[in-house]
Structure formats: structure tokens, C-alpha cells
Amino acid sequence: MANFNLYVASCVLLLALSWRTATGHPLPALRTEECEQCSLLFKSLLLNITELLKGDVLCFGITSEKVVVRSKADTLLACAPPLTQNSNCMMQRNSSFSERECLKNIMEDLAYYEAAIKSYLKSQLRSPAEEEARLSPTLTIIESLKNCSRMQNENNSSEVTAQMWGSDTYSNREQMCKMMRGFHVRAITINRAMGYISSGDHRK
């Protein structure tokens, strides 16, 4: 088990180190100003989620440390750099980087989490006013991100996410806390991807 954990950790490190050096074929891309605007907004999103999880509202009294990523988007793979020589990491792929595919999956993520948060705020809540105050800024940033990108998401996640919540406020909040932890992990991946796209390395 220890060897497996070391292997996974090594892959994560290699992925991070390879992010700036991977290359791909030129594809239709966001304009420079769009990249800069979106990158700043994604940084704001990551900071927002980080502060949200540090607070004493959403995850208050939640003993589980579980992280849940329910979005069906394949962002981790779509936004990973191409496979480097002598690498066996599963998080890299044996194909060129596609900016369009990466952005498409990012938009699917945003659509899913936006729908999940909106449906959660309509469910049974322990502290409706406090939870809405904490989550509304996240929705505002997501909306701005949807406007700054030319990529449009066609998937409707509203019906799926609406089925996640029940009548027990603790269970709802526990699920939301776990999901936002997953969103935090995904936001880190997205920020790395946007940094790579902004660098233009994949178009060299």
C-alpha cells in the first residue's frame, strides 16, 4: 500500500512538473485578454472555495473527511499534458493537448457545480441565510466565468443535482461539504490547466 501511495504521489509530482513543458498541436484558442480574465476568475474561484471550506458554516460539525467529485466531466484527463517519454502515470495521455476539449470539460464542471449549489440552496438547510451568504459569491464567480469563456456547455445538470438532497439538513450539508471539497480539488486542476493554456506552450 505504501508503494502504491508513493507511485501515485510521484505521478502527481510528474504531472505538475510536466505542465509547463508539454507540447501539442495549435488549435482555436481563447484570445489573450480572455485567457487573462478567465485565469483571474478561476483563481478567485479557488480562493473562494478555500475560504468557504475554512469557515464554520457549511462543514460545521461534519466529522467525515471524505472528498467527493460527482461531476461527470473528464477534466483531469482532458486538461493533462501529453504523455512524456518513460512515464507510466495514468494522469497523462498518449495524445496531443486539445485546448478546446479541456475548456469543454471545464465548462461542464462549472455547469454541474452551479446546478448543484443552486439546488442545494433550495433544499432543507440548517442555516438558510448563512449558507446562502457563503455560497452566493461562488455562484457569482461561476456566472462570470461562463460569460468570459466562448465555450458553451450543452449539458443540463439541474435534474440530476436536484435529486441529491433530502429532508435532513445534516445529511444535505454533509453531502454538500464533501462535494465542495471535491470542487476545491477540481478548481486546483482547472487553475493549472488555465496556467498552461495562458502560457501558450501547447501551441509551440
The pLDDT tens digits of the residues spanning 31-44 come to: 556 667 788 899 99
Question: What pTM was estimated for this model as a whole?
Answer: 0.76
| Within-domain flag for 7 | no
The residue ranges of DSSP E strands in the chain, in sequence order, are: none
Q: 103-148: per-residue pLDDT in tens? A: 899 999 999 999 999 999 999 999 999 999 999 999 999 999 888 7
| Within-domain flag for 11 | no
| Within-domain flag for 169 | yes
| Within-domain flag for 180 | yes
Rounded CA-CA distance 76/98 in Å is 13
Lowest mean pLDDT among 1-10, 82-91, 105-114: 1-10
Rounded CA-CA distance 198/32 in Å is 7
Please report which residue ranges of 55-98 form alpha helices under DSSP H: 75-78
Q: What is the mean pLDDT of the segment spanning 53-74? A: 91
| Within-domain flag for 118 | yes
pLDDT of residue 162: 66
Written as nine digits, the cell of 2 is 505504501
pLDDT of residue 97: 83
Rounded CA-CA distance 202/103 in Å is 14
pLDDT of residue 80: 86
| Within-domain flag for 171 | yes
Query: Among candidates 84, 70, 71, 112, which has minimal Cα distance to 24?
Result: 84
We report the CATH number of the domain holding residue 184 as: 1.20.1250.10
| Within-domain flag for 198 | yes
Please report which residue ranges of 70-127 form alpha helices under DSSP H: 75-78, 99-121
Q: Are 81 and 15 in contact (CB under 8 A)?
A: yes
Confidence of residue 24 (pLDDT cuts 50, 70, 90): very low
pLDDT at position 150 over 70: no
Give residue 48's domain range.
30-81+96-203
More confident residue, 79 or 149: 79
99-121 and 128-148 helices cross at what angle (nearest 10)?
A: 160
Across the chain, mean pLDDT equals 77
Rounded CA-CA distance 100/179 in Å is 26
| Within-domain flag for 110 | yes
pLDDT of residue 152: 56
Number of domains in the chain: 1
